[in-house]
Amino acid sequence: MKTVREPARDIKVWREVDVVVVGGGPGGVASAISAARTGAKTVLIERYGHLGGMATGGLVNIIPNLSDITGKQHIYGLTMELLNRLDKHGATSYPKKKDRGSADKKAVDYYLNANLGWFFVRKDLAGQQHVLYSAVVDPEILKAELNDMVLGAGSELLLHSWGTQVIMEGNAARGVFFESKSRRQAILGKVIIDATGDGDMFVAAGAECDNECDNKRRTAWLALVWWMTNINLRKFDKFKASQPEKYKELMDELVKLGGYPFFFRGILKNQPNTIWYHSMLPQPQRTDAMDVEQLTKIDIEARRRTVITHDFMKKYLPGFEKAFIMLTAPQLGTQGGRRIIGEYTLSEKDMETDEVFEDTIAVIANNDYGDISNKHPALCIPYRCLVPKSVDGLLVAGRAFSSADTINETFNIIPHCIAYGQAAGTAAALAIKAGVEPRKVDYKALRDNLVKQGVNLPKIERSVGSVASNDGKKDYFQKYRSQ
């Protein structure tokens, strides 16, 4: 391979802070807010001109699995704060409290008819469908609210800034280089939080990581989300109901041409004529978000197929005559990628042990593993999944948490990444206050602090060897193993 040598040069230090967060998606935003609120001088840098990552730029405006199938809510903390803020703008919608966990036919049918079953409805062991607590949000209002939350927490924010390298002191990360229109600059920090989703910073720091992913998983594929609007869905529904065979024939033809036959509706509040396409591009081999040539190829291919779908639907599907493409996601959807090898790696077996870890930083509804989910409707996440095994001064927030690909696929969605970020930011600030490396953070202090922030965590009652949730009721978790 031909190479050239980059000449050494002195780089301007733009800031010296406590915590540097790289990446402003759900994990990064939550990290910056919680680090700043916990007293750390914090900077968040993001490569694009807006915050939110996939939740905004990827047009992934669904925040599912806030409750389990019984309707019991597990996700609180910053996700709830965010939804409350969006509510003030009428920029979110979700099932009423009385409907969460309900098997009421009317409530279930509402979500099924809106084609939102995937996000809002799950079956219990007897096959009965129940409504989950999930929310859809307006990504434009979300972008503005995230700016306000980050700045309001006291964190500095630098957009249009791409983190490229980690500044190491021995085995510890102590700053980053970033590129922008102001050219390459540096930020020095005591703890770096990699919230790039893709692990750009931990790779630069030389931390051990894993990139294995079974090609059958959603996380193995890149995807482009897009919206089509100005559709007469009533007319479309009538056609589909009256001529199901013709409809199937047309969709088969569309697939043959390379188009997308499946869409969701109801994902954009107050826009009943807009539909949401989640265009996954399953390939013979896994697509790699870390390969710029593949990213380019997939983006071009996805757009070509989007137009095929648009043309076909307009030409042949009643109701689509005046439809048009409202928006394609400004950023190609990366669903999985590199994962840090942490002090603990979460695997499928953790779902069945009901383990309450001493360093539990989040409790997450487990809705997507069929029978296992029904028997074990929640999962505890240990802080050690955010702590690289081999590098100090570094934490990982978001979808790159330490996990097997099996578990990562299910537990890397937006509310989960917000929870991981809230824990990482808080831990970074506590580590700095205590003058220790993040891996040495006092777990109890971390948990207590998160509970004060409104995070739902199990109380660990060592004396009786069982746990109760914050609301005082006995939870699913009966076991506690000392680390």
Ligand X SMILES: Cc1cc2nc3c(=O)[nH]c(=O)nc-3n(C[C@H](O)[C@H](O)[C@H](O)COP(=O)(O)OP(=O)(O)OC[C@H]3O[C@@H](n4cnc5c(N)ncnc54)[C@H](O)[C@@H]3O)c2cc1C
List residues binding ligand X (CB under 6 A).
Answer: 22-28, 45-48, 53-55, 58, 60, 62-64, 162-163, 195-198, 200, 223, 225, 278, 333-335, 398-399, 412-414, 417
Can you tell me the distance from the alpha carbon of 20 to that of 190, in angstroms, rounded to the nearest whole number? Answer: 8
Query: Cβ of residue 192: shortest distance to ligand X, in angstroms?
Result: 12
Q: Which is nearer to ligand X, 101 or 336 (CB)?
A: 336
Can you tell me the distance from the alpha carbon of 111 to that of 132, in angstroms, rounded to the nearest whole number? Answer: 10
Q: What residue number has its CB nearest to ligand X?
A: 25
Query: Cβ of residue 364: shortest distance to ligand X, in angstroms?
Result: 11
Can you tell me the distance from the alpha carbon of 233 to that of 272, in angstroms, rounded to the nearest whole number? Answer: 8
Query: Cβ of residue 63: shortest distance to ligand X, in angstroms?
Result: 5
- Which tokens sit at 176? 């980053």
Give the angle subtended at the CA of 295 by the CAs of 293 and 300, to the nearest 5°: 100
Query: Cβ of residue 227: shortest distance to ligand X, in angstroms?
Result: 13
Can you tell me the distance from the alpha carbon of 474 to that of 12, in angstroms, rounded to the nearest whole number? Answer: 55
Query: Cβ of residue 472: shortest distance to ligand X, in angstroms?
Result: 29
Q: Which is nearer to ligand X, 200 or 475 (CB)?
A: 200
Query: CA distances (Å), 258 to each of 247, 253, 297, in order?
Result: 17, 9, 15
Can you tell me the distance from the alpha carbon of 290 to that of 292, in angstroms, rounded to the nearest whole number? Answer: 6
Q: What DSSP character marks residue 341?
A: -
DSSP class per residue in 91-126: -EE---GGGTT---HHHHHHHHHTT-HHHHEEE-TT
Query: Cβ of residue 435: shortest distance to ligand X, in angstroms?
Result: 28
Give the angle subtended at the CA of 402 by the CAs of 400 and 406, to the nearest 5°: 90
Can you tell me the distance from the alpha carbon of 179 to that of 14, in angstroms, rounded to the nearest whole number? Answer: 12
Q: Which is nearer to ligand X, 155 or 412 (CB)?
A: 412
The Cα diameter of the chain in Å comes to: 71
Query: CA distances (Å), 129 to each of 101, 117, 121, 132, 325, in order?
Result: 9, 10, 6, 10, 33
Q: Which is nearer to ligand X, 162 or 239 (CB)?
A: 162
- Which tokens sit at 27? 């994990």
Length of the chain: 483
Query: Cβ of residue 389: shortest distance to ligand X, in angstroms?
Result: 19
Query: Cβ of residue 180: shortest distance to ligand X, in angstroms?
Result: 10
